[in-house]
Structure 1
Amino acid sequence: MSESSNRPPTSLSPGQWSFTRWNTIGQLEALEIHHPLFRAIIFLQGAHLAHFAPQDEADWLWLSNRARFEPGRAIRGGIPICWPWFGDPAKNPPEVRKRIRTDAAHGFARTALWKLEDVQESAHEVEISLSLDANEDFADTWNGHALALITFSFSVRGCQLALTTTNLDSSPLSFSQALHTYLPTTDITRTRVLGLGTSNYTDTLKDWAYCSQEGPVYFDGETDRIYESGEPVTIVTPSGSRKLTAVGSDSTVVWNPGPDKAAGLSDFPDTAWKNMLCVETANAAGDYRVLNEGQSHTLGVFIGRK
């Protein structure tokens, strides 16, 4: 890592910051937070949180050891922002799909360059906000005009992400989205997700069949499900547990590529599926959102201790 001399434009002066500094990681600009109580890394490309850990603890997020930090390339791990659509465009509701002009999955926000809006620091917390103006610059892939503002809040208790979408267009905006959280585990076969036991879900691996969950979610191979629930979930692994508490969400995606799909994924070791899972706070499938002109919606998640 080295200090950057080509920082994105901002009115904020780094001299005002005690714990936050610019760095270049690979080819990308990042904000590194070195607080006495915790550490975090946010890339401006994608407003991508790649690392968070309280002092003297292992990373609470999973990041591929093959992740590549290059312009226009999505980072494998951490928390990618899927926006203003989630997943395969063709699998989105018609109102969302009609605005999309590409076959690419998960929207353009995760590879777009976001603008730094604010840094607030205290003895106990650091809060960082970034924005993305989705205007005519994205007309090749999407028909709309919206502002995305994400605020990260870090403390010794955990980290919180709040993604607010405001429709700047004169016509109603339908969109789907997800905070695509990658979490570590020492053994996926001994990992379970609690809190979805009374939920229905769509199993994308079974021709989008509609199913009912009974008890905890376990992993015995590739898993890709959209649950109709925004209730808090707890991820239990052999080394501990984390609780994810969502706001503005009535859908939760649970994903693990399993051995076969992992072998074909970019920037992903063939055996890495054994040591990670994704539990995504979402507005997906039937939980897509519609905003009239000037209206806003906030999707958020707090990742904390159980």
Structure 2
Amino acid sequence: MPESSHTPPASVTPGQWSFTRWKTIGQLEALEVHHPVFSATVFLQGAHLTHFALNDDTNWLWLSDTARFEPGRAIRGGIPVCWPWFGDPARNPPEIRKRVHTPSAHGFARTALWRLEDVRESAHEVEISLSLNANEDFEGQWDGHALALITFSFSVRGCQIALTTTNLSKDPLALSQALHTYLPTSDISRTRLLGLGHSQYMDTLKDWDYFEQEGPVYFDGETDRIYESAEPLTLVTPAGKRKLTSVGSDSTVVWNPGPEKALRLSDFPGTGWQKMVCVETANAATDYRVLNEGQSHTLGVVIGRG
């Protein structure tokens, strides 16, 4: 993965940064944070967080060994931003579906180039903010005008991500979205997710029918479910626990491709499904949101030690 130094845009003042530096990784620009307590990597393409770790720990996020860092190509792993629609457009409510002009899943934000708005640093925390103005530049894919602002906050407590959407058009705007968080495990068969017991979920692998979760979620093959829940979650792996607390969300997507689908995925090792699980903070299915002119909505997640 070649790296080189990069001259930042004139609009930012990196001389004031103590811990944050520009890096070119593959063919993409990124901000790397090297704090005495933690480290992080955020790409401008997709506003994509691929790495966060306390300095005595490994990456809290799963990143594919075969991920490619190329313009217009979604990075496999980390936390892709699915926006302004989630999943297959045809499976979205009519208010969202009528705005989408492409069959591509998960929206355009994850491959769009975001603008750096701010880097704030203190002895205890680093905060990075990026924005995407979804205007007429995207009219071939989507009908709407909105501003997305994402802020990453890193500290010894973990990482916090807040994605705020503001409707800049005069018409009501319906959207679905997700912070598509990939989390690592050493063994998916010895991994379980706590906090979804007694929740209703839609199983996309079983004709999108509804079921009720009994006890922890275990993984024994392909899993693709949308849970109607906003409860704090704890992922338990052989290496320890990770807690996820959401805001602005009443739905959680739980996904693992299993052995057969893993072979069909791009930039995904054939055995990678054994080492990861996605627990996604979402506004999906019936939890989609509608914003009137000038209204905003924030979707967020805090990832911390369990």
Same fold (TM over 0.5): yes
Q: Aligned equivalents of 2:149 and 2:42: distance in 1?
A: 14
Q: 1:132 to 1:242 in 2, by over 3 A?
A: same
Name the counterpart of 1:277: 277
Partner SS, residue 110 of structure 2: helix
Q: CA deviation at 1:13?
A: 0.8
Alignment check: 8 A CA contact 1:10 1:117 kept? no
Name the counterpart of 1:48: 48
Name the counterpart of 1:158: 158
Q: CA deviation at 1:10?
A: 5.2
Q: CA deviation at 1:272?
A: 0.5
Q: CA deviation at 1:56?
A: 2.0
1:52-86 superposed Cα distances (whole Å, 9 cap, x missing partner): 00012100000001000000000000000000000
Name the counterpart of 1:263: 263
Q: Aligned equivalents of 1:74 and 1:10: distance in 2?
A: 27
Partner SS, residue 110 of structure 1: coil
Which residue identity does 2:140 align to in structure 1? Answer: D
Name the counterpart of 1:168: 168
Which residue identity does 2:171 align to in structure 1? Answer: S
1:1-306 superposed matches below 5 A: 1-5=3-7, 7=8, 9=9, 11-306=11-306
Q: CA deviation at 1:173?
A: 0.1
Which residue identity does 2:205 align to in structure 1? Answer: L
Structure 1 residue runs without a partner (length 5+): none
Same amino acid, percent of matched pairs:
78
Q: Aligned equivalents of 1:74 and 1:86: distance in 2?
A: 14
Alignment check: 8 A CA contact 1:10 1:116 kept? no
Q: Aligned equivalents of 2:10 and 2:186: distance in 1?
A: 40
Which residue identity does 2:243 align to in structure 1? Answer: K
RMSD: 0.6
Partner SS, residue 281 of structure 2: strand
Alignment check: 8 A CA contact 1:223 1:255 kept? yes
Structure 2 residue runs without a partner (length 5+): none
Q: Aligned equivalents of 1:289 and 1:247: distance in 2?
A: 13
What is the number of residues matched between the two proteins? 304
Runs of 4+ in 1 over 6 A off after TM superposition: none
Q: Aligned equivalents of 2:10 and 2:181: distance in 1?
A: 28
Q: Aligned equivalents of 2:48 and 2:55: distance in 1?
A: 21
Alignment check: 8 A CA contact 1:125 1:155 kept? yes
